[in-house]
Amino acid sequence: MSQKLARTGGWHDRVTWEAVGWVCVILVVFWLSFDFDGPLPHYPPGAALWPRIVLAGMGIAAAVLLVSRFMPQTIRDEAKATPEYIEEAPEDLSGVSWRTVGVFVLPIVWVYAMHKMGFLLVTPFFLIAFTWLMGVTRWRTLLLFGFGFYAMLVVVFYKLIFTPLPMGAGFFHSLNGEILAVIQ
Q: What is the pLDDT of residue 131?
A: 94
Ordered by start, the domain boundaries in the chain are 3-87, 98-183
- Cα–Cα distance measured from residue 184 to residue 180, given in angstroms and rounded to the nearest whole number: 6
Q: Per-residue pLDDT tens for 114-141?
A: 989 999 999 999 999 999 999 899 999 9
Give 51-76 pLDDT, tens digit per residue. 888 899 999 999 998 888 887 766 66
Which pLDDT value is given to residue 157? 86
- Other CB atoms within 10 Å distance of the CB of residue 167: 20
pTM exceeds 0.85, yes or no: no
Distance CA 42, CA 141 (A): 38
What residues are paired with 7 via a beta bridge?
72
Rounded CA gap, 19 and 118, in Å? Answer: 36
What's the pLDDT at 113? 92
pLDDT tens for residues 85-121? 666 666 666 667 788 888 899 999 999 999 899 999 9
Q: Report which of 111, 117, 120 is spatially closest to residue 157, judged by C-alpha positions.
A: 120
Helix 139-154, helix 119-133: angle, nearest 10: 140
